Amino acid sequence: IRNVAAAMKLSEKNEKIRDYLSNLYQLRGLQELKNKETDNAIQAFSKAIELGGDTGEVRMALAAIYVREGNSEKALEEYQAVPGTSSAYLQAQMKVAEYQLRKGNLFVAKAIFSAIVLHDPKNTHALLLRALTYEKLKKYDAAGSDYRLALKAAPGNRDAEEGLQRLARVKILIVK
């Protein structure tokens, strides 16, 4: 029993050391970013993750580096790896959905935007992008509904107003 207790104590100490080192690597990554040393920042953030510091903030920082470097595939991987318990999770999901929309994966984008709106019904950005996705899918009634919800959440929103005007023009063309 003493050996088990000693092993547990040692395990707890090792975990604290790992947490401490992970935090140091996160701080180092942030400092390297500040100094515009992106390769070093990537290494530091990767080491932090390896040591158990797999936080949404670290993943978002890595994704931002990859976006700046033009590596959208690596950025997407980082956004998708943001833990669901992280405060950055919805922000990461927005980035994934925007990426899917740009790539023309409309059903995937719509599903992610819908999940975000389900979690945050007044997320104007998600509503607008889901409306745009519906437009591309030629589901104009659903698009109009989202533009109206966006206007309700953010009265006077120019993008929502323009979207509704665009839909009115499309409906006129369809009727003719």
SS3 89: helix
User: Which DSSP string corresponds to 97-118?
Assistant: HHHHHHTT-HHHHHHHHHHHHH
pTM listed for this prediction: 0.75
Q: Report the alpha-carbon distance of residue 154 to residue 128 in Å, rounded.
A: 11
Over residues 41-93, the pLDDT tens digits come to 999 999 998 888 778 889 999 999 999 899 999 999 999 999 888 888 999 99
Residue with tokens 């953030």: 45
d(CA 43, CA 41): 5
